[in-house]
C-alpha cells in the first residue's frame, strides 16, 4: 500500500490501482454522511477533484492521485457512507483506476514514511 500527502491510499490489484482514504483522514472527517463517486470510464488527471465526501464536520474532495481511467466505483459507499469510518483502508475503497505505468506508485510514501509524515 502506498500513501499520498492528501491522506489517500493506493493499492495495486492486478493491473488496476484501488484508491481510498486513510484511517487518519477518516478520523479527521468524523462521521461520513455522504459520498459522491466519479463516473466509470471517466478519464482523470492527477490533481483532479473526482470525489466528494461530506461528514458531520466538513466536506472534502478526493483528488486523483495519478492520471488514468476510472474502471470501477464502490457503490456500497453511496448507500452506506459510514463504511468510510468503519473500514477506511479496506472495504471502504472509493474507486479503481487503470493507469499506463504502475511503477509510478513507487513515487508515493510507504507505510513507515506515511507514519513519519503524520508525525
State the number of CA atoms in the 13 A half-sphere of 85 facing the CB: 14
- Report the sign of the C-alpha dihedral through residues 58, 110, 112, 91, in that order: positive
Domains of the chain, by residue range, sit at: 2-101
Which residues in the chain show pLDDT less than 50? none
User: Rounded to whole angstroms, how far apart are CA atoms 87 and 100?
Assistant: 29
The answer to whether the CB of 63 falls within 8 A of the CB of 47 is yes
Grid cell locating 119: 508525525
pLDDT tens digits for range 38-67: 999 999 999 999 999 999 988 999 999 999
Architecture of the CATH domain 2-101: Beta Barrel (2.40)
User: Rounded to whole angstroms, how far apart are CA atoms 34 and 59?
Assistant: 9
Given this model, what pLDDT does residue 74 score?
Answer: 98
The single residue listed with the C-alpha cell 468524523 is 30
Amino acid at each position: 500500500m502506498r500513501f499520498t500527502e492528501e491522506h489517500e491510499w493506493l493499492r495495486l490489484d492486478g493491473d488496476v490501482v484501488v484508491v481510498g482514504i486513510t484511517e487518519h483522514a477518516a478520523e479527521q472527517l468524523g462521521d461520513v454522511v455522504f459520498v459522491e463517486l466519479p463516473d466509470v470510464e471517466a478519464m482523470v488527471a492527477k490533481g483532479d477533484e473526482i470525489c466528494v465526501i461530506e461528514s458531520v464536520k466538513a466536506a472534502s474532495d478526493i483528488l486523483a492521485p495519478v492520471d488514468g481511467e476510472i474502471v470501477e466505483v464502490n457503490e456500497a459507499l453511496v448507500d452506506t457512507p459510514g463504511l468510510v469510518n468503519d473500514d477506511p483502508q479496506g472495504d471502504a475503497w472509493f474507486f479503481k483506476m487503470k493507469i499506463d505505468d504502475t511503477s509510478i506508485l513507487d513515487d508515493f510514501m510507504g507505510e513507515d514514511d506515511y507514519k513519519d509524515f503524520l508525525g
